[in-house]
Chains A and B, each alone.
Chain A
Amino acid sequence: MSSSPDRSADVPDELESELLALGESLRTPVPPPADVARAVRARLEGEPSPRVPSRWARPSRRRIAAVVAVFLAVLLGATPQGRAAVESVLRFAGVEIHVGGPGPLPTGVPAPLPGERRVTLDEARRAVRFTVAVPSALGEPADVRVADGGRVVTLLWPGIRLDEFDGTLSVVFRKEMGEPWPEEISSPHGWWISRPHGVSYVPADSGALQELGVAGPTLIWQNGTTGMRLEGTDQQEALRIARSVR
């Protein structure tokens, strides 16, 4: 065929020319670049600079995904230096924890996640881009919810709640609490929050927080690239459940 794609870069054939012309006739609205730049800047104000400390840096080539995970771990490692501030921030696996601030006012009824709906486990697996893991220590969940168009899956057992979410790119949950600093856990690597604390949801699009209410003691860890947030057990049981995730 004359239109072999190998040669298409040289001389476009008739169809290719038509496609190019069609592309040029397509209107896509574009806001003023300066407005976009300002809006992006507003969201980045106050964030740490993206420079990775050198002992973690040197991202291995072509492994941006790995670098992303490491970057979050680095933010974590960098936090103790920030503790002189009134409020320190720890960011891990899609969860941002603010320690030392006043914390939110306790609200009465826990609010659902935006767009939360009941689904079956299979439906949840189809609805999200990450792998939904079920801890074998708990078995089949009693109830499954998908929220915010598949960004978060919540598995529920009596008294226990496990949120799973894409824990690599953006902040999904924000937690606020007073001291003490959460306890670091090595296996699986994560953080144990022993006290009740305020939880808000950080939507992917706007970044405007949605308060969810007050959570009890919680374990946060990362399963592959999936952020995991387990609430409703003591620390020993939480670790047993976390370790049973395949």
Chain B
Amino acid sequence: MDDDDAIARSLAGDLDAYEVLVARYSAVAHRTAALLGAGDETEDVVQEAFVKAFRHLAGFRRDSAFRPWLLRIVANETHNLTRSRGRRADLSVRLGREREPYEPEEPEEAAVAAEDRSRLLEAVRRLPERERETVVCRYFLQLSEAETASVLGVRLGTVKSRTFRGLKRLREEVGRELLP
């Protein structure tokens, strides 16, 4: 069943078909919510987004792609959550290597690379929110510029300029830290 079939059947109230869509997009929805700052509440945010997506499926334009439409709802839900808690949407993720605190010492080279990586993550965290969201969508979620524009609800030109500004800031920050 492709997306369009599943959507057509869901619109007719077929929950089996909607389960197919949910299962198909669950992973990317969770990753989007987590990287946009839903933190511990990622699962709740995603569930709520899927429920809302179903309720508003009649408003979905069938000639466009489902993924960015859904991820926009996920992004909005994440926003609602972080705004309502009065906290800054934080990039509450961990680098893979931080998950095992007792792992044996790494070779020096790997340790340096890991350190660079965590500095870069810190720099992304410190970006102004709009630039951070755009960088997260473009590079962490690997969305196209057009998809990023749909997901964040902004124009393509805005995505380009925020990406540009974000990268520039990162280059300055990371460059300053890494250069002797």
A interface footprint on B133-162 (CB within 8 Å = 1, 0 otherwise): 001001111101100000000000001110
Shortest beta-carbon distance from A46 to chain B in Å: 10
Taken together as a complex, chains A and B put the C-alpha atoms of A169 and B59 apart, in Å, by 13
* A86 at interface, CB cutoff 8 A: no
* A79 at interface, CB cutoff 8 A: no
Taken together as a complex, chains A and B put the C-alpha atoms of A5 and B96 apart, in Å, by 28
By the criterion CB–CB under 8 Å, are A45 and B31 in contact? no
* B41 at interface, CB cutoff 8 A: yes
By the criterion CB–CB under 8 Å, are A71 and B26 in contact? no
B interface footprint on A109-120 (CB within 8 Å = 1, 0 otherwise): 000000000000
| Total contacting residues, chain B, CB less than 8 A | 70
By the criterion CB–CB under 8 Å, are B58 and A71 in contact? yes
By the criterion CB–CB under 8 Å, are B23 and A9 in contact? no
Shortest beta-carbon distance from B135 to chain A in Å: 7
A interface footprint on B114-148 (CB within 8 Å = 1, 0 otherwise): 00110011001000000000010011111011000
By the criterion CB–CB under 8 Å, are B56 and A149 in contact? no
* A185 at interface, CB cutoff 8 A: no
By the criterion CB–CB under 8 Å, are B59 and A40 in contact? no
By the criterion CB–CB under 8 Å, are B35 and A50 in contact? no
Question: In this complex, what residue of B is CB-closest to A16?
Answer: B139
Taken together as a complex, chains A and B put the C-alpha atoms of A67 and B58 apart, in Å, by 8
By the criterion CB–CB under 8 Å, are A15 and B12 in contact? no
Contact of B167 among A3, A39, A170 (CB under 8 A): A3
Shortest beta-carbon distance from A234 to chain B in Å: 34
By the criterion CB–CB under 8 Å, are B27 and A15 in contact? no
Leading 6 A-B pairs by shortest Cβ distance: A49-B13, A23-B140, A67-B59, A149-B84, A19-B139, A33-B23
B contact residues vs A (CB 8 Å cutoff): 10-13, 15, 18-20, 22-24, 26-27, 30-31, 34-35, 41-44, 46-48, 50-52, 54-61, 80-81, 83-86, 93-97, 99, 116-117, 120-121, 124, 135, 138-142, 144-145, 159-161, 163-164, 167-168, 170-171, 174
Contact of A68 among B20, B59, B117 (CB under 8 A): B59
By the criterion CB–CB under 8 Å, are B86 and A127 in contact? yes
Q: Interface size class for chain A?
A: 35 or more
* A136 at interface, CB cutoff 8 A: no
By the criterion CB–CB under 8 Å, are A30 and B59 in contact? no
Question: In this complex, what residue of A is CB-closest to B136?
Answer: A23
Contact of A30 among B26, B61, B80, B164 (CB under 8 A): B26
By the criterion CB–CB under 8 Å, are A33 and B47 in contact? no
Shortest beta-carbon distance from B177 to chain A in Å: 13
Shortest beta-carbon distance from A127 to chain B in Å: 6
By the criterion CB–CB under 8 Å, are A25 and B170 in contact? no
Shortest beta-carbon distance from A54 to chain B in Å: 11
A contact residues around B116 at 8 Å (CB): 18
Contact of B57 among A9, A27, A50, A205 (CB under 8 A): A50
Decide: A33 near B24, CB < 8 A? Known: A8-B163, A150-B86. yes
